[in-house]
């Protein structure tokens, strides 16, 4: 690391979503089955982070989760594929648990 470089302590802000891009993603996914981020990037030039943000902004219409084969229209998914998205709930619970532990440690220290 060069002397003038600094580690990024806070992640960059979430990308700004363009509604037309959500519509474009939905259109790309129609009848396509699972598409990887690489396949979608080849069609659009979108970076992975922006693609994830578009999926998040799709109001549940785009299925994707950690370990999934990529992105797929929820309405074209099987019940088993949708059930596999339960990992999102597990991750959310783990993050909540960690946040509570961090706060406990912090506020216990403050009380001393």
Residue 99: left if φ>0, alpha if ψ -120 to 50, beta else—which one? alpha
Instruction: Decide if pLDDT at 89 tops 60.
Output: yes
Structural domain containing residue 27: 19-111
State mean pLDDT over 69-93.
96
Say if 57 falls within a structural domain: yes
Distance CA 112, CA 108 (A): 7
Instruction: Decide if pLDDT at 3 tops 80.
Output: no
Cα-based distances in Å from 81 to 9, 20, 29, 61, 72: 36, 26, 15, 13, 10
Quick: pLDDT tens for 32-41: 999 999 999 9
Q: Which of 1-5, 41-45, 92-96 is the least confident region? A: 1-5
Instruction: Decide if pLDDT at 8 tops 70.
Output: no
Contact 6, 42 (CB under 8 A): no
Give ∠ CA 42-47-50 in degrees, rounded to 5: 125
Report the number of distinct structural domains present in the chain.
1
What CATH code is carried by the domain that includes residue 72?
Answer: 1.10.10
Instruction: Decide if pLDDT at 12 tops 60.
Output: yes
């Amino acid at each position: 690391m060069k002397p003038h470089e600094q580690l990024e302590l806070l992640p960059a802000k979430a990308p700004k979503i363009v509604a037309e891009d959500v519509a474009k993603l939905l259109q790309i996914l129609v009848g396509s089955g699972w598409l990887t981020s690489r396949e979608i990037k080849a069609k659009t030039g979108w970076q992975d982070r922006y693609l994830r943000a578009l999926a998040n902004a799709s109001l549940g219409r785009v299925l994707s989760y950690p370990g999934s084969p990529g992105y797929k229209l929820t309405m074209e998914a099987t019940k088993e594929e949708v059930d596999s998205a339960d990992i999102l709930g597990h991750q959310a619970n783990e993050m909540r648990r960690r946040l509570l532990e961090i706060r406990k440690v912090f506020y216990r220290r403050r009380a001393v």
